[in-house]
Amino acid sequence: MPRSVLILNQSTSIRPLPIAIIDGIRTTMDGKLPGAMSYYIEHVDLYRFNSSLYKNSLQGHLSVKYRDKPIGVIIAIGPGGLDLALELHGSLWPTAPVVFAAVATDTLVHKLPPGVTGTFIELKLANTIEVARAIVPNLRQIAIVGDRFEEQLYYRRFADQLPEFSRTVEFIELMGLPLREVRRRVAALPNSGVVYYIGTNSDPGATYTSAAAVLPSIVEVANRPIIVDSETLLGSGAVGGFMLRPYQIGQDAGRLALRILNGENPSDIPTTTGSNSKAIFDWRQLQRWGVSENRLPPQSEIRFREPSIWDLYRAQILVAFAAVLAQAAVISWLLSERRRRRVAEATTRETMSDLVHVNRMATAGELSASIAHEINQPLAGMVSNANAGIRWLAGATPDLGRVESSLKQIVAAGHHASEVIAGIRGLIKRGTEERAPVQINELIHNAIALERRDIERHHVLLTLDLDESLPDLIGDRVQLLQVILNLIRNAIEAMSPDRVQTLRIRSELDESRDILVSVEDSGTGIDQQNIGRVFEPLFTTKPQGLGIGLSICRSIIESHDGRLWVTSTVGRGSTFFIKLPRYMAGDGWQQSRKRS
Ligand code: ADP
């Protein structure tokens, strides 16, 4: 069998549909058989030339042309191509099998003789009606635009199918009209209509070369969506439809021709209906006409979809999203950390507050003897001054000057007693933390007043070395008093009467102009092992000790942005240092901070 294929195209070489079919044939067959393969292509243009005289002359022409060119298989494109092939076949190529392409069953005019096979296409009015209803839900009219049915090759049997549907749809036949008239009519269609463009191929003025070339001028003016049947018409303004896919049609034909050239008997290859048509739509037109994709036939293909921001920037969006997520995770972690820290701080403050109170109560308890003493003394003074005053008044000439001085001393003693009581009340009271300007020297005097009895009882030699020009600091009087009392008590407790006991309290401005208070004793000192531990909670070397005094002192000083530390030589004594920032005008301070 000769390795040659004659392609008989019913139309011309400038129409996209047959060109795509031929392309499908070529790509399927090329290189599949050993040796060279010849393709002969005849574009017979039956849309415009369809007289029997022309067909007879074609027969003579082709018989001369192919006299020396044996044909292995004929591929006929379109119903017109198949008709011609069957007419010429017997006289020109009686032995060459025929494969048809792009032919629908109902366009057959001849019964297929033996030696002819092919894959039918589906081109049914019912499909178009289905698509039209999907596009226009309240469909009432279908305006059919193109050549008259009788001049059509593909649609030549549609006239028979119209009555079946005309009960539900009105067909507006705009076929065989001059293009100008078509444009006028499609611009004024009812809202419930669509345009069905079946192709203008034989324009009387021959201005247009193909159905595809006419379409844009209809699109331009049509006021309703346009349905088409060929993939080659999609993309220039039609909304879509059940599409013939010419490339696949060509591939089907090419595969059959190959089987025949490989020796298969064409009569053994039954004709089939291919899956070469499909519902395909133009996304842009669906948007334009407001057609929802859900309404389209199942498995519809949507083309020309404009990429969304997501399609274009997927990677960037994902990275940004991940970054935001990571950031959110970090933020929520930080927030929860902050919450945990607050809770921890609150708990610590609570515990601290309890400890400070316990420590104060202990201090107040220890002070009770000196308190009694401090109160008794002014009371006794007041009584004796009052007696003296009475005596000075009782004389014949009352000495008013002396009376006045007695009264003044009573007032002074009263003030002293009330100061002592205020100090004690402050120690015992629990609650708000008061921040206010404080004179540290005044606190030292207060503390000594409270401790005086013990100092005297232990025969401690007290030296005060106070810088009277010290500036104020901002702090809580009661807490700071508590610290100084603690240090004085510890100092007294560290000294024993066997040796000279000196207690030296000094206040000054240090080189960084902070307030520095030192409490120095000549007691036991602290050995190297313990010096790092004296500020630890519950560290004590005393049989009755609680071991919380110094740890509380340090917390108090640190909460005042200061520092508390000790230097010591065993056997020589210890010096505790308190360093506190001084108050400078312009420093704001919180007057009262509520304890949680
Ligand atoms: P407590 O006095 O109840 O033991 P503190 O926290 O006030 O608790 O003191 C802890 C320890 O530090 C004391 O037990 C003592 O060993 C030591 N210490 C404190 N002050 C002095 C000091 N001035 N001289 C020597 N040791 C001291």
The CATH code of the domain at 125-244+277-303 is: 3.40.50.2300
The token pair at 530 is 């313990």
363 lines ligand 1 (CB under 6 A): no
pLDDT digits (tens, 9 = 90+) for 383-411: 888 988 888 888 788 888 888 988 998 99
The reported pLDDT for the residue numbered 596 is 32
More confident residue, 414 or 79: 79
User: Would you tell me how many other CB atoms lie within 10 Å of the CB of residue 450?
Assistant: 27
540 lines ligand 1 (CB under 6 A): yes
What value does the mean pLDDT of the chain take? 87
Burial class (CB in 10 A: 0-12, 13-18, 19+), 297: middle
Atom of ligand 1 nearest to the CA of 550: 6
pLDDT digits (tens, 9 = 90+) for 164-190: 999 999 999 999 888 889 999 999 999
Q: Which of 517, 519, 516 is nearest to 463 (CA)?
A: 519
Q: Which of 85-94, 227-236, 269-278, 365-374 has the lowest mean pLDDT?
A: 365-374
Domains 4-121 and 433-596 share a fold: no
490 lines ligand 1 (CB under 6 A): yes
Domain boundaries, the chain: 4-121, 125-244+277-303, 433-596
Residue nearest to atom 12 of ligand 1 (CA): 534
The reported pLDDT for the residue numbered 204 is 61
User: Would you tell me how many other CB atoms lie within 10 Å of the CB of residue 12?
Assistant: 17
Q: Ligand 1: distance of its center to the CA of 195 in Å? A: 104
Q: Ligand 1: distance of its center to the CA of 458 in Å? A: 18
pLDDT digits (tens, 9 = 90+) for 225-238: 999 999 999 999 99
pLDDT band at 423 (very low <50, low <70, confident <90, very high): low
pLDDT band at 379 (very low <50, low <70, confident <90, very high): confident
pLDDT digits (tens, 9 = 90+) for 71-89: 999 999 999 999 999 999 8
Q: Which of 588, 576, 591 is nearest to 489 (CA)?
A: 576
483 lines ligand 1 (CB under 6 A): no
Residue nearest to atom 23 of ligand 1 (CA): 491
For residue 482, pLDDT over 50 is answered with yes
More confident residue, 146 or 431: 146
The token pair at 433 is 């933390």
Residue nearest to atom 25 of ligand 1 (CA): 525
CATH topology of domain 4-121: Rossmann fold (3.40.50)
pLDDT digits (tens, 9 = 90+) for 8-62: 999 998 888 999 999 999 999 998 888 888 999 999 999 888 899 999 999 999 9
Atom of ligand 1 nearest to the CA of 525: 25
The CATH code of the domain at 433-596 is: 3.30.565.10
pLDDT band at 136 (very low <50, low <70, confident <90, very high): very high
Q: Ligand 1: distance of its center to the CA of 449 in Å? A: 22
Spell out the SS3 assignment of 344-403.
HHHHHHHHHHHHHHHHHHHHHHHHHHHHHHHHHHHHHHHHHHHHHHHHHHHCCCCCHHHH
pLDDT band at 425 (very low <50, low <70, confident <90, very high): low
* Mean pLDDT to the nearest integer, 366-370: 64
For residue 157, pLDDT over 90 is answered with no
User: Would you tell me how many other CB atoms lie within 10 Å of the CB of residue 61?
Assistant: 12
Residue nearest to atom 7 of ligand 1 (CA): 549
The reported pLDDT for the residue numbered 509 is 94
pLDDT band at 355 (very low <50, low <70, confident <90, very high): low
235 lines ligand 1 (CB under 6 A): no
The reported pLDDT for the residue numbered 347 is 67
Residue nearest to atom 8 of ligand 1 (CA): 547
Q: Ligand 1: distance of its center to the CA of 540 in Å? A: 6
